[in-house]
């Protein structure tokens, strides 16, 4: 390694996604020097499609391999790693009070020590528990758009209480996965404002709600002063604030880093995506925007983190209540600021499902391989050929009579109904490559239409969103990005590297933790209150400094296509009304209990 980097500081961001762990080694300018990914395991139940389980031991081992991989690639000395940040999916991790994993699998192993101790975010086993919670009228519902999702942590904890031996339940402690990672790294039980307010029913300004927990049957949490879910007074940290004394000796050995390396309070993965994208300047027609964005500008930028599912994050100086959209959450990232979170339960997953379950998909894969193309590129090229052969101006015109409603895995927002299901109108007796291509484009369009539905709901409630800053794997699909811009009629800004934005956000947490830890050392004591007062300004400054410029995709549809897209959106909304009406009619007929 050259002498010019031997004394350079670096930060590591760790992103725990749905199917993998990724670590990035980042310098203070935001330049990624190394990146390493390890797959993680998910267990499904062949007899119950609702079940998704993972293992913290498997995840932590993947984190260790990923960090060591980054160090090996870059030949950076561990002493140069000045801070570490984590983000993860909003999944429920369960351990005993010594940190040993507790099984969440229904049956004889439930509540006992076992490898499968994570109920993944996508797990839908807690439907009845969520229905009970949503019938309480509790104030906690006001801060999740009026309806609590069964993907959140309290319904899952209640499911465990209802299915576990009481003597075993009392021995459990429960973490939103990002907070488990900082606990595993430091053995400090401090929880993050992001996890608690966004996923664990911690109400802004008033904290845990005693009446709520007693009402739903989790009074034990109250009686034990919330020891099982953490966050006693003084233990809630805002993003990037140092957790404990940094890496423990054991964790440092497991990760290949030095003991005491500062660890920043963690974020849910989508919020790390917000952190790593919304402060970007951007290029339009090859010209870079002149001024760095102010913190006020963040309120006009919707961050969409689009992978297996998609999350939509928006910040505001005051709380905005939006029916069917989670929040408003106070202080999830920046102290004093509020956030709302919309989302689509299945996007990348839906695209894969629609392709792989089509009869012509194997043929498409074969032909794409022969042409040395990605299968998505092959299908997009086929669509363009079909458009020209049919003398259509646009792909929207080509697929105008095929309508797909995308909620195959329930609706997260703005309907907030896990019972919503997907639908396809316009099918023919056709299993050809042509049918596959048309289905593919109609699926992309359905995802874009639902994004418009979410954005419109946010703006109708009081937000003023004028751009989408998009990261995650779907950002590589440029035709989909253009659809987002055209359907939503706002520009879409793509990060320099769509796969690195979330890890970059986590690395920023590590940097802030390092800077605050340095100040603590100089002052000789922790001053959490003073840290919180300075946290927003400091973290936004880090975001502006470390976020690379993005690329702007402007809306470009013709007036004719705009009319077609508006008609598609009207049909999209009608499809929702029809499904609700049909379900009600079937329930009234006694078909559904």
Query: pLDDT tens for residues 422-462?
Result: 999 999 999 999 999 999 999 999 999 999 999 999 999 99
496 pLDDT tier (thresholds 50, 70, 90)? confident
What is the pLDDT averaged over residues 391-396? 97
Most distant CA pair in the chain, distance: 77
Model pLDDT, residue 586: 94
Cα–Cα distance, 552 to 218 (Å, whole number): 48
Which residue stretches of 235-328 are H helix? 249-255, 269-275
Cα–Cα distance, 547 to 34 (Å, whole number): 16
Model pLDDT, residue 230: 86
Helices 433-461 and 559-588, axial angle in degrees (round to 10): 90
Model pLDDT, residue 186: 97
* Spatial CA neighbour of 546 closest among 515, 494, 519, 511: 511
Query: Residue 470: how many CB atoms within 10 A of its CB?
Result: 29
Mean pLDDT of the chain: 94
What is the pLDDT averaged over residues 225-247? 87
User: What sign results for the dihedral spanned by CA atoms 554, 558, 563, 565?
Assistant: negative
Residue 502 has pLDDT above 70, yes or no: yes
Model pLDDT, residue 522: 65
Cα–Cα distance, 513 to 510 (Å, whole number): 5
In order of their start, the domains of the chain are: 10-267 (3.30.420.40), 348-466+557-588 (1.20.58.2240)
Residue 529 has pLDDT above 80, yes or no: no
For 115, phi and psi rounded to 5 degrees?
A: -70, -40
Strand partners, 95: 101, 173
What is the pLDDT averaged over residues 258-264? 98
Strand partners, 39: 20
126 pLDDT tier (thresholds 50, 70, 90)? very high
Q: What residues have CB less than 8 Å from 570, skipping those under 6 apart?
A: none
Q: How many CA atoms lie within 13 A of 472 on its CB side?
A: 29
Model pLDDT, residue 4: 53
Residue 521 has pLDDT above 80, yes or no: no
Percent pLDDT > 70 in the chain is 97
Percent pLDDT > 90 in the chain is 89
For 408, phi and psi rounded to 5 degrees?
A: -70, -20
Q: What residues have CB less than 8 Å from 474, skipping those under 6 apart?
A: 306, 307, 310, 347, 348, 480, 481, 498
Which SS3 state, helix, strand or coil, does residue 319 take?
coil
Cα–Cα distance, 104 to 98 (Å, whole number): 17
Which SS3 state, helix, strand or coil, does residue 285 take?
coil
What is the pLDDT averaged over residues 563-591? 95
Model pLDDT, residue 233: 54
Pairing between β-strand 310-316 and β-strand 326-330 as defined by DSSP bridges: unpaired
Model pLDDT, residue 2: 39
Q: Which residues of 63-81 are buried (b: 16+ CB within 10 A; e: fewer)?
A: bbbbbbbbbeebebebebb
Q: Which residue has the higher pLDDT, 4 or 413?
A: 413
* Spatial CA neighbour of 333 closest among 188, 24, 539: 539
Model pLDDT, residue 291: 83
Model pLDDT, residue 1: 36
Contact in structure between 555 and 485 (CB atoms under 8 Å): yes
152 pLDDT tier (thresholds 50, 70, 90)? very high
Contact in structure between 95 and 156 (CB atoms under 8 Å): no
Residue 354 has pLDDT above 70, yes or no: yes
Cα–Cα distance, 64 to 252 (Å, whole number): 9
Pairing between β-strand 172-176 and β-strand 92-96 as defined by DSSP bridges: antiparallel
166 CB burial (10 A radius; 0-12, 13-18, 19+): exposed
Helices 348-356 and 433-461, axial angle in degrees (round to 10): 160
Cα–Cα distance, 495 to 239 (Å, whole number): 22
Residue 169 has pLDDT above 90, yes or no: yes
Residue 272 has pLDDT above 70, yes or no: yes
Model pLDDT, residue 160: 98
For 126, phi and psi rounded to 5 degrees?
A: -95, 35
Model pLDDT, residue 523: 59
Residue 250 has pLDDT above 60, yes or no: yes
Q: Which residues of 42-56 are buried (b: 16+ CB within 10 A; e: fewer)?
A: beeeeeeeebbbbbb
């Amino acid at each position: 390694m050259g002498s010019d980097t031997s004394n350079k500081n670096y930060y590591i961001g760790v992103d725990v996604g749905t199917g993998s762990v990724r670590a990035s080694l980042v310098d203070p300018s935001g330049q990624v020097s190394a990146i390493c990914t390890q797959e993680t395991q998910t267990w499904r139940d062949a007899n119950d499609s609702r079940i998704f389980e993972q293992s913290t031991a498997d995840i932590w081992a993947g984190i260790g391999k990923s960090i060591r991989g980054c160090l090996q690639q870059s030949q950076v000395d561990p002493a140069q790693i000045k801070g570490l940040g984590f983000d993860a999916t909003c999944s429920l991790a369960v351990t005993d009070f010594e940190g040993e994993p507790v099984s969440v699998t229904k049956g004889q192993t439930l509540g006992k020590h076992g490898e499968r101790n994570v109920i993944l975010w996508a797990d839908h086993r807690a439907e009845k528990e969520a229905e009970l919670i949503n019938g309480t009228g509790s104030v906690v519902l006001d801060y999740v758009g009026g309806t609590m999702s069964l993907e959140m942590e309290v319904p899952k904890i209640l499911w465990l209480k209802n299915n576990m031996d009481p003597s075993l339940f009392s021995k459990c402690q429960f973490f939103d996965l990002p907070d488990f990672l900082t606990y595993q790294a430091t053995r400090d039980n401090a929880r993050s404002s992001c996890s608690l307010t966004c996923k664990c029913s911690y109400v802004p300004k008033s904290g845990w709600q005693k009446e709520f927990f007693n009402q739903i049957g989790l009074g034990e949490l109250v009686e034990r002063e919330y020891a099982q879910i953490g966050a006693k007074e003084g233990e809630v940290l805002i993003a990037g604030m140092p957790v404990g004394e940094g890496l423990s000796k054991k964790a440092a050995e497991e990760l290949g880093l030095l003991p005491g390396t500062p660890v920043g309070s963690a974020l849910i993965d989508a919020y790390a995506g917000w952190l790593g994208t919304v402060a970007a300047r951007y290029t339009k027609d090859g010209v870079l925007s002149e001024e760095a964005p102010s913190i006020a500008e963040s309120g006009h930028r919707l961050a969409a983190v689009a992978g297996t599912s998609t999350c939509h994050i928006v910040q505001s100086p005051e709380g905005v209540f939006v029916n069917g959209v989670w929040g408003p959450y106070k202080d999830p990232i920046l102290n004093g600021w509020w956030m709302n979170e919309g989302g689509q339960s299945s996007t990348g997953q839906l695209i894969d499902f629609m392709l792989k379950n089509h009869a012509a998909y194997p043929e498409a894969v074969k032909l794409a391989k022969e042409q040395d193309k990605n299968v998505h590129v092959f299908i997009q090229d086929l669509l363009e050929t079909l458009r020209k052969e049919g003398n259509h101006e646009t792909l929207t015109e080509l697929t105008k009579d095929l309508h797909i409603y995308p909620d195959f895995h329930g609706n997260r927002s703005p309907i907030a109904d896990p019972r919503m299901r997907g639908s396809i109108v316009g099918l023919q007796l056709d299993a050809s490559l042509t049918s596959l291509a048309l289905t593919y484009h109609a699926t992309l369009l359905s995802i874009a239409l639902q994004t418009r539905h979410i954005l419109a709901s946010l703006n109708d409630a009081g937000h003023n969103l004028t751009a989408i800053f998009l990261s995650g794997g779907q950002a590589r699909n440029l035709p989909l990005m253009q659809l987002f811009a055209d359907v939503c009629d706002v520009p879409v800004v793509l990060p320099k590297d769509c796969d690195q934005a979330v890890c970059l956000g986590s690395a920023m947490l590590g940097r802030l933790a390092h800077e605050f830890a340095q100040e603590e050392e100089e002052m000789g004591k922790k001053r959490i209150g003073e840290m919180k007062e300075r946290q927003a300004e400091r973290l936004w400054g880090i975001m502006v400094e470390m976020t690379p410029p993005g690329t702007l995709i402007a809306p470009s549809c013709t007036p004719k296509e705009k009319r077609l897209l508006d008609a598609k959106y009207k049909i999209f909304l009608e499809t929702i009304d029809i499904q609700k009406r049909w379900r009600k009619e079937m329930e009234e007929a006694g078909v559904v209990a």
